[in-house]
C-alpha cells in the first residue's frame, strides 16, 4: 500500500483535503491526522473491519482498547449510555480538548474497539484539522496514537511515516502538535472516578471540578495494567534501555553525571535526555575528552517552561534513540501539573529502571 501525505494548514484546513480524508474514513480506510496532543490513527469506529486494520497496522495487541473521537458532546449518546454529572462538567469545561472520558458503552460500539470491555473511552479533540475531519465524516472515529505499538507517540507527520509508511492510506500533515503528550483519561465507570492516565489536562484542573476524583495508584505498574488495559508499564519503549533519574535537580544532576562518566569509561555510548538547565550543568562532563564521540545529548524543553518540555519530549526521545546510543539516561522535571504527565511517560519508557535520588 502506498501512503499518501497531504499537507494541510493547521489553522485553516483546506476543505477539499478534509473531504477526501473523511471519505476515506467512511470507506473503511486508515487516516492519520493531527490532534492537539499527538497524531492519531483513525478508522470508522462503528465498522469492525476498519477498526481491525488499526490493530494490524500498529501491531497492537487486541487487549488494548482504543479511544473514540467525536466532534462534540452531542455525539456522546451515539457511543455511551449516559453521562454522570461529574463527567458532564468535565466535558463541558475541557472539550474540545485533551481530555478522554470513560463511560459505559452502547452495543453499537464494536467489542474490538473496547477490547471486549463494557466501557468506551471518548474524546472531542480541539485541533482544527481533527475537528473538521470529525465533523465532515459525521461518524465516531476510533484513533490510537499513530505509532507502532510501544514506540513513542508521534508529534509530527514525519514520525507517523517513520512507523507506518506503507501500512496506512493517508496522513494529513498539519505540522507539529501543540501539547505533545496524550490526553488525560478519567474513568467514570467506577466510583469515585479515577484518572487512568495523566496528560494534557492536569489533576489539579480536574480536581477543582470533581473533588472526589482519585489518581490511579502506582501509575504504570503491572497491577494498574490489569485495571486499565493498555496502560502497560512498558510503553513508549526506546530501543536503547532508558534509566530515569527521579528527584530534585540538585541531587539528580550530579548522580546522572557520575553515571555517565562510569558508562563512558566502560565503553558505552550514552544518550542524555534532560531539560536544558540540566544539560548546562552537565556541560563539563559532556565536553570532557573521555566523552568525545561517546555522549549524545537531546534537551527536552526547560524546567522553566514545562509546556515546551511536554511538546518536545517524544521527538527528543525518538531522535536520541535513532542516534544509535546503547543506553539512555533521562531526568524528570517534577511531579505536579503537566510535569506529572512527563514523568509518567518517562517512567513507562524506563520500564522499571528508575533511580530515585533522595538526600542521604
Q: Site residues (CB under 6 A) for ligand TXA?
A: 35, 37-38, 40, 64-67, 98, 100, 102, 114, 117, 119-121, 123, 125, 143-145, 182-183, 185, 196, 228-231
Contact segment (CB under 5 A) with Mg ion among 40-48, 62-70, 142-150, 299-307 equals 142-150
Please, are residues 30 and 53 in contact by the beta-carbon 8 Å criterion? yes
Distance, CA of 227 to chain centre? 19
145 near Mg ion (CB under 5 A) = yes
Residue 201 touches which member of Mg ion, ligand TXA, none, C-beta under 5-8 Å by kind: none
Q: Which does 186 bind (CB under 5 to 8 A by kind): Mg ion, ligand TXA, none?
A: none
CB of 152 to ligand TXA, least distance (A): 11
Distance CA 345, CA 180 (A): 11
| Gap between the Cα atoms of 107 and 193, Å rounded | 23
194: part of which helix (H) or strand (E)?
A: strand 194-197
Give the residue at shortest CB distance from ligand TXA.
230
* DSSP helix/strand/coil, 101: strand
Shortest Cβ distance from residue 284 to ligand TXA (Å)? 39
What's the closest the beta carbon of residue 232 comes to ligand TXA, in angstroms? Answer: 8
For the chain, helix (H) and strand (E) counts, in that order, are: 14, 16
- Element housing 348 (H / E): helix 337-350
Number of residues that bind Mg ion (CB under 5 A): 1
Which of ligand TXA, Mg ion, none does residue 97 bind (CB under 5 to 8 Å by kind)? Answer: none
Q: Which CA distances in Å does 235 have to 239, 271, 353? A: 11, 19, 13
Question: To the nearest whole angstrom, how small is the minimum distance from the Cβ of residue 155 to ligand TXA?
Answer: 11
Query: What backbone torsions phi and psi does residue 312 show, to the nearest 5 degrees?
Result: -95, -10
Residue 231 makes contact with Mg ion by CB under 5 A: no
Q: Which is nearer to ligand TXA, 145 or 331 (CB)?
A: 145
Contact (CB, 8 A) for 50 and 28: yes
What is the chain's length?
360
Q: Which is nearer to ligand TXA, 205 or 326 (CB)?
A: 205
- CA-to-CA dists, residue 114 to 62, 100, 119, 130, angstroms: 9, 14, 7, 21
Q: Which of residues 241-300 bind Mg ion (CB under 5 A)?
A: none
In what side-by-side order are the strands of the sheet with 327-331? 295-299, 270-274, 327-331, 242-246, 354-356
Burial profile 126-140: b = 16 or more Cβ within 10 angstroms, e = fewer: bbbbbbbbbebbebb
User: Minimum CB separation from Mg ion for residue 278, in Å?
Assistant: 27
Q: Which is nearer to ligand TXA, 36 or 276 (CB)?
A: 36
Residue closer to Mg ion by CB (options 145, 183) is 145
Residue range at the interface with Mg ion (CB under 5 A); choices 65-73, 141-149, 260-268, 352-360: 141-149
Tell the smallest beta-carbon distance from residue 190 to ligand TXA (Å).
10
Q: Which three cell numbers stand for residue 20?
A: 477526501
Rg over CA atoms, the chain: 20
Q: Which stretch binds Mg ion (CB under 5 A): 128-136, 143-151, 207-215, 280-288?
A: 143-151
Residue nearer to ligand TXA on the CB measure, 56 or 250: 56
Strands 194-197 and 270-274, by their bridges, are unpaired
Least distance from ligand TXA to the Cβ atom of residue 123, Å: 6
Is residue 183 close enough to count as binding Mg ion by CB under 5 A? no
**C-beta of 20 vs 64, nearer to ligand TXA:** 64
Contact footprint for Mg ion (CB under 5 A): 145
Amino acid at each position: 500500500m502506498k501512503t499518501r501525505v497531504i499537507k494541510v494548514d493547521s489553522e485553516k484546513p483546506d476543505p477539499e483535503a478534509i473531504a477526501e480524508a473523511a471519505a476515506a474514513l467512511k470507506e473503511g480506510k486508515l487516516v492519520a491526522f493531527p490532534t492537539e496532543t499527538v497524531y492519531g490513527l483513525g478508522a470508522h469506529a462503528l465498522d469492525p473491519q476498519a477498526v481491525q486494520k488499526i490493530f494490524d497496522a500498529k501491531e497492537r495487541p487486541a487487549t488494548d482498547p482504543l479511544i473514540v473521537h467525536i466532534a462534540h458532546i452531542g455525539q456522546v449518546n451515539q457511543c455511551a449510555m449516559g453521562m454522570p454529572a461529574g463527567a458532564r462538567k468535565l466535558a463541558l469545561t475541557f472539550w474540545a480538548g485533551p481530555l478522554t472520558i470513560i463511560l459505559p458503552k452502547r452495543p453499537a460500539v464494536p467489542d474490538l474497539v473496547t477490547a471486549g470491555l463494557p466501557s468506551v473511552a471518548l474524546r472531542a479533540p480541539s485541533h482544527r484539522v481533527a475537528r473538521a475531519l470529525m465533523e465532515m465524516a459525521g461518524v465516531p472515529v476510533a484513533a490510537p496514537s499513530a505509532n507502532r505499538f510501544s514506540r513513542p507517540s508521534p508529534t509530527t507527520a514525519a514520525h507517523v511515516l517513520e512507523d507506518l509508511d506503507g501500512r496506512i492510506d493517508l496522513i494529513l500533515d498539519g505540522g507539529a502538535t501543540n501539547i505533545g503528550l496524550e490526553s488525560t483519561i478519567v474513568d467514570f465507570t467506577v466510583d469515585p472516578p479515577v484518572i487512568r492516565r495523566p496528560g494534557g489536562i492536569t489533576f489539579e484542573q480536574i480536581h477543582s471540578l470533581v473533588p472526589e476524583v482519585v489518581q490511579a495508584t502506582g501509575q504504570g505498574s503491572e497491577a494498574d495494567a490489569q485495571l486499565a488495559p493498555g496502560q502497560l508499564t512498558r510503553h513508549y519503549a526506546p530501543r536503547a534501555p532508558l534509566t530515569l533519574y527521579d528527584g530534585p535537580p540538585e541531587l539528580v544532576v550530579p548522580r546522572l553525571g557520575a553515571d555517565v562518566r562510569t558508562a563512558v569509561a566502560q565503553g558505552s555510548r550514552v544518550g542524555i535526555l534532560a531539560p536544558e538547565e540540566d544539560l548546562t550543568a552537565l556541560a563539563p562532563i559532556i565536553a570532557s575528552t573521555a566523552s568525545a564521540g561517546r555522549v549524545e545529548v537531546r534537551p527536552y524543553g526547560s524546567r522553566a517552561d514545562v509546556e515546551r518540555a511536554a511538546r518536545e519530549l517524544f521527538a527528543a526521545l525518538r531522535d536520541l534513540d535513532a542516534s544509535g546510543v546503547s543506553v539512555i539516561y533521562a531526568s524528570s522535571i517534577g511531579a505536579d501539573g503537566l510535569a506529572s504527565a512527563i514523568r509518567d511517560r518517562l517512567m513507562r519508557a524506563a520500564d522499571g529502571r528508575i533511580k530515585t535520588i533522595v538526600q542521604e
